[in-house]
Amino acid sequence: MRGRRVAFLVLLTVSAALAQPRRLTPEGRGLWVPAWELSGPGAVERVVETAVAHGFNELFLQVRYRGDALYQPNRHDTTFPNPEPRSAYLARAPAGYDPLEHALELCRASGLRLHAWVVCFEITGGRVPASPAHVVNRHPEWLAYGRDGRPMAVGHRAWLDPGVAAVRDYTADVLGDLAANYAVDGLHLDYVRYESPRTGFNPLALEEFTRETGFTSPSAAPAVWADWRREQITRFVAAVARRLGELRPEMLLSAAVYAERDTTARDEVSQDWGRWLRAGYLDLLVTMSYFTDEAMIARQLERAVECADGSLVYAGLLLRELHDERRFIPPGELRVYYDAVRLRGADGMALFSYSDLREYQAVGLEPGELFDGAAAAPLPAASAGQFGSITPGAD
């Protein structure tokens, strides 16, 4: 899939190189921006201003929170059906305001690379969606079930079952609509997995399992069931990669994943990201290395870099302690993690999150404390070829 981008990106990179005689050292410095921070024009402008001030060169902007839209579905191109409702986070924004389009304009002007961050299969965020257009109200039969044969409660972080083919097709259409209508730099997949081994027992999924494997129940063949679940997530990622190749070959496909590949990721939530990298489905992998243990972060990155095969690898890092949210991680400690990232051959880092960054600023974090100097956002080796990297916005 990465080869599809070569011609476009070589041309883009040559233009950027001519425009900038001095190359910047490529290093990804991403910032995850949650949906609630995109509530209106002023809020989006502050996001971009803050990111630039603190030395970031990429934004992961959450434009699909839980089955909702912080953009305009079917804006121009209506090829891919997208009935998702306008996000409640835009309730006070001007009518018709489009945070994604606004952010894209600002990022182009500021030299930031913009990824549309989308939550794939977790579909509600703590309350029952009010809109009749929301997918859980239109298709309650797609909800994930537990082992007890009951669907997940819609009012508390419910999931759609990725083992149901219609769920995968619906979600791929939503993402296809985004890609067709917005020339963002990347599409960033989150929650692209099962919730846990305890869910995913939707009757429709069980029917598909039986039809494809011949086994009458998961308990009859646990290993086959585990393989089948992994295959459903991989099918989805592959389908999205193919669609991007058809629609926008220049758009990078990335995913935020559990960092422990062979245990948590592969065995517990069916996230076989090593296979995705080897198959060339992803251009960028972001390991959620949410620990304050340099050795653990380093080990996780080594495993990811081993699988990369030309794709980019970033470490997803926290700005505050995972188990003590009152404590922000000091800039000096973050820089130790950055060094571990660099020494293991990874290509950058993404920090979670902009909301935390704003709070960190309020208690004294100053511009220049997170990063030294400027850096260009890198491109995958298979896409960038001999030119290496580009500086977003240079064209």
User: Do 317 and 337 touch, CB atoms closer than 8 A?
Assistant: yes
Q: What DSSP character marks residue 219?
A: G
Assign 303 to helix, strand or coil.
helix
So what's the pLDDT on residue 72? 98
- Name which of 14, 22, 107, 9 is nearest 373 in CA terms: 22
| Residue that the structure tokens 């030119």 belong to | 387
Per the listing, tokens 């690379």 go with 113
Summarised one tens digit per residue, pLDDT across range 17-76 is 333 333 367 999 999 999 999 999 999 999 999 999 999 999 999 999 999 999 999 999
Query: For residue 1, what pLDDT is reported?
Result: 57
Number of C-beta neighbours around residue 126 at 10 A: 9
Model pLDDT, residue 382:
63
* Distance from the Cα of residue 43 to its chain's centroid: 21
Write out pLDDT tens, residues 225-267.
999 999 999 999 999 999 999 999 999 999 999 999 989 999 9
Amino acid 2: pLDDT: 53
**DSSP 3-state of 98:** coil
Alpha carbons 72 and 145: distance in angstroms, whole number:
31
Residues 108/393, Cβ–Cβ less than 8 Å:
yes
59: β partners: 31, 114
Rounded to the nearest 10 degrees, the angle between the axes of helix 41-53 and helix 354-362 is 70
Contact 378, 388 (CB under 8 A): yes
Rounded CA-CA distance 233/227 in Å is 10
Q: Coil, strand or helix: which one is 114?
A: strand
Bridge partners (DSSP) of residue 151 are 145
pTM for this entry = 0.91
Q: How far apart are CA 119 and CA 190, in angstroms?
A: 5
Q: Which helix (H) or strand (E) holds 130?
A: none
Looking at residue 90, what DSSP letter applies?
Answer: G
The owner of tokens 């592959």 is 238
Identify the pLDDT of residue 53.
97
Query: Using an 8 Å Cβ cutoff, are 201 and 246 in contact?
Result: no
Q: Are strands 348-352 and 284-288 parallel, antiparallel or unpaired?
A: unpaired
| Regions of the chain short of the pLDDT cut 50 | 3-23, 384-395
- Tokens 């009518």, residue? 95
The predicted pLDDT at position 51 comes to 98
Q: Are 310 and 6 in contact (CB under 8 A)?
A: no
Contact yes or no for 36/356 (Cβ under 8 A): no
Name the token pair of 37: 């921070």
Question: Considering only CA atoms, which of 239, 241, 252, 275 is closest in space to residue 380?
Answer: 252
